[in-house]
Amino acid sequence: MKPILSLTLLVVFCLMGNAQNSNVHYNKALADSLGADEYGMKQYVLVILKTGTNTTDNKTVIDSLFRGHMNNITRLAKMGKLVVAGPMRKNDKTYRGIFILNVATTEEATELLNADPAISEKLLEPELYSWYGSAALPLYLKSHEQIEKEKH
């Protein structure tokens, strides 16, 4: 009788330990739709935009390239490829802004960035890094649309 009780207790404790690691709120369909792994994470590409080598001071050219830059940001967001974008304040580095791209490789990110006129004309130069983050990150854009009073 004692070995059966010991075995039963061992099984119960093992099941309890396993149950503590399971997420009762897990939504497989949502996780699959976002490309999440078992930790709810996925691969992205982080882009740090720096001041480029193009030092033109022609305001018309600069304005045109940055208008194209903003249009490309909108295009990438509509495609579901851009998750986060934003400028940085002046700093002691040449950092100007960041993107988090919803792509798995730096090669795919480079292809998307080549369509940005501010990057292709070297007003901005990107540094690309593989980044592992929450697969739910793209969901915040829907909330942002509800709090954005003015569009760019």
pLDDT by residue for the chain (152 residues), tens digit each?
Answer: 566 655 555 555 555 555 557 888 899 999 999 999 999 999 999 999 999 999 999 999 999 999 999 999 999 999 999 999 999 999 999 999 999 999 999 999 999 999 999 999 999 999 999 999 999 999 987 787 788 788 76
CB 31 within 8 A of CB 40: yes
Q: Which DSSP string corresponds to 84-152?
A: EEEE----SS-EEEEEEES-S-HHHHHHHHTT-HHHHTTSEEEEEEEEEEETTGGGHHHHHHHH-SS--
Angle at 93 between CA 56 and CA 151, to 5 degrees: 65
pTM higher than 0.75, yes or no? yes
- Homologous superfamily assigned to 32-147: Dimeric alpha+beta barrel (3.30.70.1060)
| Residues sharing a CB contact under 8 Å with residue 54, sequence separation 6 or more, in sequence order | 121, 122, 123
What pLDDT, on the 0 to 100 scale, is given for residue 14?
Answer: 58
